[in-house]
Amino acid sequence: METLETKKKREGVLLVATPLRLLAIDLARLTASDLARFTARSTTRSEIYRNSQMPALPVFKEFNFVEKGFPYGMCFFVWESKLYMVGGEKPLEGVPPEQLFSLKHCPLEESFGAGGASPYIYVSYATSLDSITDFRKLSTAMLGPKPNPFIAAVQGKIYVLSGKPYYYREDDLQFPTFEVYDPSVGEWEALPDPPFYNPRRRMYEEDYVVHGLSVVGTTIYVKSGLNFHSYNVNTKIWDSLGYSTSTIPIPLPLLPCFIGKFVPAYDDIFIGLHRRNLFAALIPRDGSPPTYQYLTEVFDEYLYYNIAPSSGAVEELGEQEMCIIKTGFLPGIHTTAYIATFQVEKLHSPVQPSDLPLINGQRSSVPKDC
């Protein structure tokens, strides 16, 4: 495949949303070192040692949803310069942070939404840095609550799927579990519930757990439990695809078990995260198999054991600028974050399989299982 050159972007603002907070990060300060590495607040000796090599995360604005009376675990999307917050679960006022973070039991505000599960949408016009956290509730709510939702944008519409709740303990699912929002008219429409959600299923069953979602053309792909499913937005039909990736007619990196995005400047270069590896995939439009290059110049191998394999994000910052975010959970240490911004440039020097860098002690030309 063609090689990639990486550079850093040194301007602008990066918004990062967690289940509890919205963070506004200064991109200019984010790239203060040759390969920027940042971690959260120091609380232990080992973390202070790590912070001697990693500058503090350059957050200049922080918004705590629960403290401000909003639900926990909302999902976000941006539409026409507006920032939307969707769904989530509303803890009782005054719940201590340690109970909120335990994820075992947190009392919800029963009078809010459907027993504490939120069907509401909040929007910020984000016209300035001061207005980023100026959220207001839309007059049009969803038709059903959406705890821990998944969101996909297809053909100018926003599709929202319920996820596994953090605290909501109702045994039966709240329907509809899947609906679509048309921003042009401001209306919601209930859609067919996916095959892994039905009235006989309970939230704690493995098939219920959604692990990821991706969009290819007019089809939304979902991994739930061990199996894959697809939804065609034109026909409004769900199909169950089984667990084998070889039978699904899309390139491997576009499956919902991968995290990634295409580089805007190149319609065939996909930047992806798979478990603890960062890679670029050249995905030919003629349907031939993808080829891969691991981006070790961006993603340091020494962090391999310090980051969570299933949590992260890939975002575009411009035509060639990309950003990756990975979280980590070290023993005795609060959550850490690894953030890198870089520029992708397609060069015209072919890379042979033998030139691929070593990953975890072995050379590989393709990401492994989902």
At 178-194, the pLDDT tens digits run 999 998 888 999 999 99
For residue 4, count other CB atoms closer than 10 A to its CB. Answer: 23
Query: What is the dihedral sign for C-alpha 248, 148, 180, 253?
Result: negative
Terminal Cα-to-Cα distance of the chain (whole angstroms): 23
Mean predicted confidence (pLDDT) in 91-109: 80
Mean predicted confidence (pLDDT) in 146-151: 93
Give the pLDDT band (50/70/90) at residue 145: very high
Cα 102 to chain center, whole Å?
A: 21
Alpha carbons 264 and 266: distance in angstroms, whole number = 6
| 45 sits in which H/E element | helix 45-51
Checking if the pLDDT of 5 tops 60, the result is no
pLDDT at res. 347: 75
- 329-369 pLDDT, tens digit per residue, is 555 445 667 777 788 888 764 444 444 443 333 444 456 55
Mean predicted confidence (pLDDT) in 261-269: 93
Give the pLDDT band (50/70/90) at residue 95: confident
Mean predicted confidence (pLDDT) in 260-273: 92
**Phi, psi (rounded to 5 degrees) for 352:** -85, 155
Q: Which of 57-61, 74-78, 216-220, 323-327 has the highest mean pLDDT?
A: 216-220
Task: Tell me whether the omega of the peptide bond preceding residue 284 falls within 30 degrees of 0, making it cis.
Answer: no
- Which of the two residues, 321 and 8, has the higher pLDDT score? 321
Lowest average pLDDT, out of 145-154, 252-261, 266-275, 325-334, goes to 325-334
- Which of the two residues, 320 and 40, has the higher pLDDT score? 320
Give the pLDDT band (50/70/90) at residue 91: very high
Instruction: Mark out the alpha helices in 273-357 (DSSP H runs).
Output: none
Q: Are the C-beta atoms of residues 312 and 299 closer than 8 Å to each other?
A: no
**Phi, psi (rounded to 5 degrees) for 356:** -65, 140
Coil, strand or helix at 37: coil
pTM of the model: 0.82
pLDDT at res. 234: 96
Domain boundaries along the sequence of the chain: 2-363
pLDDT at res. 205: 63
Coil, strand or helix at 256: coil
Give the pLDDT band (50/70/90) at residue 154: very high
pLDDT at res. 199: 61
Neighbouring residues of 231: CB distance < 8 A, sequence distance ≥ 6: 178, 191, 194, 219, 220, 222, 237, 238, 239
Lowest average pLDDT, out of 151-160, 165-174, 209-218, 257-266, goes to 165-174
Alpha carbons 107 and 167: distance in angstroms, whole number = 8
Record the tokens describing residue 221, joined without a space.
């792909």
Mean predicted confidence (pLDDT) in 58-75: 90
pLDDT at res. 269: 94
Checking if the pLDDT of 227 tops 80, the result is yes
Lowest average pLDDT, out of 25-29, 185-189, 252-256, goes to 25-29
- 275-323 pLDDT, tens digit per residue, is 778 899 999 988 888 999 888 777 655 455 555 556 788 988 889 988 8
Record the tokens describing residue 203, joined without a space.
């939230």
Record the tokens describing residue 315, joined without a space.
């975002």
Mean predicted confidence (pLDDT) in 151-155: 93
Domain 2-363 in CATH 2.120.10: yes
Pairing of strands 75-79, 82-86: antiparallel
**Phi, psi (rounded to 5 degrees) for 225:** 65, -125
Alpha carbons 147 and 84: distance in angstroms, whole number = 15
Show the beta-strand stretches assigned E in 65-127.
Answer: 75-79, 82-86, 121-124
Average confidence score pLDDT of the chain = 78
Checking if the pLDDT of 10 tops 90, the result is no
pLDDT at res. 366: 53
Q: Are the C-beta atoms of residues 14 and 317 closer than 8 Å to each other?
A: yes
